[in-house]
Structure 1
């Protein structure tokens, strides 16, 4: 049985973050900056500039994500933090049905999962989500919101779009569906006070 540890993405773990983000999908080019920048800002930055933005984020508190290690090797990543720091969320029409005010610092969001190819299909997303909830709770978050895809909706979802997470993982963690902007996209929420 592999040994899994999940740690905050702090500045001293930058190289580990790069390893976790480069195992497949868009993590390497995005550098987990998609939700932190407007569309125009994202399009105006290079991969190297986004990497430096991530480095700066990891030097600030709270760290913007968690890194999963499998037997000591960086294997996965989940972005979790105050929703107000992920500016694109409030500008995304599909998420307008959120029940929470966009300026509420007590609302955190889980927005991005990356799992290296060699560690997929082992339940690592569920482990990352559980750790993200503990992390948010310890930091004083009131609510955690997410925007997962639902492959059960009958529409084939490209693998690169699964960075949102999969609805069934959030349901298993106790999230409730708040809205369904599209058949394959849900808004889910978990009140951490309960």
Structure 2
């Protein structure tokens, strides 16, 4: 049986695009969003097709300014994704209540990075993939000059029966286990956490 030590993480710019497609899949929220929700204004988001969203992520990967995320592998199989970039790349996040009311960081400071999304394929959950992705995201942010990395997780101790589709922000326990500190609680079940690098 695979263990958490069998999970490896690589920057999305260093993996085949077919592996990214495998992780995002063809059904469910990941297959329609491709981690574009926090980047697009609402009007553009409302009209985007899944193929257009996938194309935008592919362009962002090619631009590598910086790499927009990490891909996790378990026994060579692509199994997960974590979005991590400077917060300035996420226009909608910069205006979202969780950020405007929860973060003390300047929204225009490019040294503040954000972890916005996790995708772990069905059948590979509860195997340490999320934790490995978060460690990889922190490492990449540190290597590329981030000063602080923020997350906006769901507190599953408060929202006990949250479905997996609503946990794409990650869980508070996932972030605190990785050394992130609680900054604020902009709502009862959501937190802002930060790690100074």
TM above 0.5, yes or no, is yes
- Counterpart check, 1:147 vs 2:159: no
Which stretches in structure 1 are left out of the alignment for 5+ residues?
none
Whether contact under 8 Å (1:24, 1:116) holds in the other structure is no
Provide the alpha-carbon RMSD of the alignment.
Answer: 1.5
- Corresponding residue for residue 9 of structure 2: 6
> How many residues matched?
192
Whether contact under 8 Å (1:11, 1:58) holds in the other structure is no
- Corresponding residue for residue 42 of structure 1: 45
- Counterpart check, 1:177 vs 2:186: no
TM-score by length of 2: 0.92
Whether contact under 8 Å (1:14, 1:58) holds in the other structure is no
For the structure 1 residues 50 and 24, does the alpha-carbon distance in structure 2 shift closer, same or farther, using more than 3 Å as the test? closer
- Corresponding residue for residue 63 of structure 2: 60
Q: Distance in 1 between matches of 2:75 and 2:96?
A: 38
Whether contact under 8 Å (1:23, 1:115) holds in the other structure is no
Post-superposition Cα deviations, 1:68-111, rounded to whole Å, max 9, x if no partner, equal 01111110000011110111111112321211000000000001
More displaced, 89-98 or 59-68? 89-98
Q: Distance in 2 between matches of 1:159 and 1:126?
A: 16
TM-score by length of 1: 0.94
Structure 1 moving runs of 4+ over 3 Å: none
Which stretches in structure 2 are left out of the alignment for 5+ residues?
none
